[in-house]
Amino acid sequence: MTRAFLGLGSNLGDRMGYLQAAVAAMSDCVAVSGVYETDPVGGPDQGRFLNVVAELDTDQSARSLLERCQRLEASADRVREVRWGPRTLDVDVLWVDGEAVDEPDLVVPHPRMFERAFVMVPLTELAPDLAEGWVDPGTGGCRRLGDWDELVPRTSEGTL
């Protein structure tokens, strides 16, 4: 089994509901960071995001995880109209222990994760070893709403 991290965000509709459904669909999820409300980065004018990072103990490769991320987004009826535009659910492969990928549709570790407080602040809660050397620019517009387990009771549902 391999340690992997996914970044999840939502800024349309039932933001917490989309995150909850995605996490519930991951049977190999072993931890979820606190929930953060964050300012959007790039793209058009849009609402604030809810963001979390999920830690997996998985036997899937980065490529398989990308496919799972895309299925999770599709199950949330994500529509890709504008790059970095508003979305019901965005799921990114951030890190997979022992794996480096540099392909047109997948780069792992995620190429911009160290530039984004909305990724690094919650990731640091779960994996301070991955944040070693990261210079925290401050909260970067991240406001911690609370622990995942306090805000969302863990349920078991089907896996994607």
Q: Point out the residues that are catalytic.
A: 78, 87, 90, 92
> What is the three-state SS of the chain?
CEEEEEEEEECCCCHHHHHHHHHHCCCCEEEECCEEEECCCCCCCCCCEEEEEEEEEECCCHHHHHHHHHHHHHHCCCCCCCCCCCCCCEEEEEEECCCCEEECCEEECCCCHHHCHHHHHHHHHHCCCCCCCCCCCCCCCCEEEECHHHHCCCCCCCCC
